[in-house]
Every structure is written in C-alpha cells, then in structure tokens.
Amino acid sequence: MSPVNLFFLFFATAAGSAAAQDQYIFPYGGSPSKQFIQEIIQLTGKERPKICYLPTASGDSEQGIIRWYELVHDLPVEPSVQKVWISSYNQQKSFEEVLLGVDAIVVGGGNTLNMIAIWKAQGIDKILKKALEKGIVLAGGSAGSLCWFDNGTTDSRPRELSVVEGLGFLPYSHCPHYHSEEYRRPLYFSNIEKGIFQPGYAMDDKAGIIFKNGKVFKVLTVTEDDHAYFVSLKNGKAVEEKLQATLLK
C-alpha cells in the first residue's frame, strides 16, 4: 500500500474512533450525593478527573458553590466552577475553553427556564453538545437533570408547574422530584396522556439513571425508598414501570 493510501487509512480509522466515543449522561432527581459523584468519576475513566460545576440555574448561588466544594473535598477530583455572571475583565478564557477542558460537567438545580435561556444567549447549549460528543460526562439533578431531556415540567414560573423544553440530548420526557413534590406525578401522567410529552423517565430525589449513547445503562439509588421509573402510554392511560436499581453504599 502506498504512503498516501496508508495516510488516508490512518485518518479514516482515527476519525471513526472519535465518532465512536461513548457518550454518558447521568441525570438524578434531586441534589447530588457523594455516591453519585463517585459514579461520575468512574465514568470518566480518570484517576483524578476535572469536574466542573455549573450553578447557572441558581443564579450562580455562592451557597450552592460552597456546598459543591464541601461535597467533593475528600474525593479524587479537581473541582471547578463556571459562573455565567462574569465579565471579560475577570475571565479571560472562553466558556468553550473551560467546558471542553474538563472530564465531566455537573449542572446544579434552580430555575430551569432561566438557565436554558441564558445558556442559549451565551452559546453554552452548543458547547455542551460538543462536550457530549467529545466524551465529556454530563450530569446533574433537578434543573440539572431536566435540561438533558426533550421536555418536562418545571416550577420556574409563578403559580403552577409549566412545560419546559430541554436541550434534547436524551429523546424522552422527564420528571424530577417525582415522589417529593405532590403535583409532579399527576401532571406528568396528564401531559403524557394528552400527547404533550412522549414517554420518559421519572426520578425520585435520590435516584438516577446513567444513559450510555442515549440508552439506559445503569439505574442507581442511594436509599431503598427512592426509585426511577419509565412512564409510557398504554390503552390511553399513563403507566409507570419501576426500574430495577443498584443501591449505592
């Protein structure tokens, strides 16, 4: 084989390997736990991964940032935080440089509608898509879980829960806080029965699902009372299927 053909064979092989990069998304129903962070560490395949926390939904809450550092202080990670309330004077790196330079990104809870709007204004939504394609692990709870799906319900507006469109990285609907907020489950059922939502996944606060290449890979919980569910439509009625989960110690 000629050197030219060898070059193109190598290039095609390398491109194919890059395209085959596994993509992991780990949504959970509520706040992060140490056990969930340990799972994220394993997914990165790194001994000491760089994990960036995105507190956009909480308005870059300092309290939430402190809790993040407290949560991971004794874990084998290099933690960081990327705020969106920044200026060119105090941050010289672009959002893309920061977010594509880590091994995992964890999104915090808060106002989902505001978060998505800000991400789109800043181009962070497109950067997160690049991160996923690059093999960077994406994770988060509450607003940080809802954002990865097609759509779901959010308390981001006054008076009542409303529909919010996510980034669509996972082609399903989603309901966080499934057992801890009484209006979540009946409204989720209603939206599926009316055809507003496609079938999807609901999660109690301390349960989560790891998706690998868009498919369920592992279901996890940190208590025996928290579960994850698949909710679909059968004979015009929404039905839930409790998913078998691994209990993390």
* Catalytic (active-site) positions: 142, 177
Question: Is the separation of the CB atoms in 247 and 228 below 8 Å?
Answer: no
> Amino acid letter at 96?
E
What is the largest distance, in Å, between two alpha-carbon atoms of the chain?
70
Q: Could you give the CA distance from residue 99 to residue 94 in angstroms, rounded to a whole number?
A: 9
Question: Is the separation of the CB atoms in 82 and 115 below 8 Å?
Answer: no
What would the two tokens of residue 203 be? 């999660």
Contacts of 86 (CB under 8 A, 6+ apart): none
Residue 135 exposed, middle or buried by CB count within 10 Å (0-12, 13-18, 19+): middle
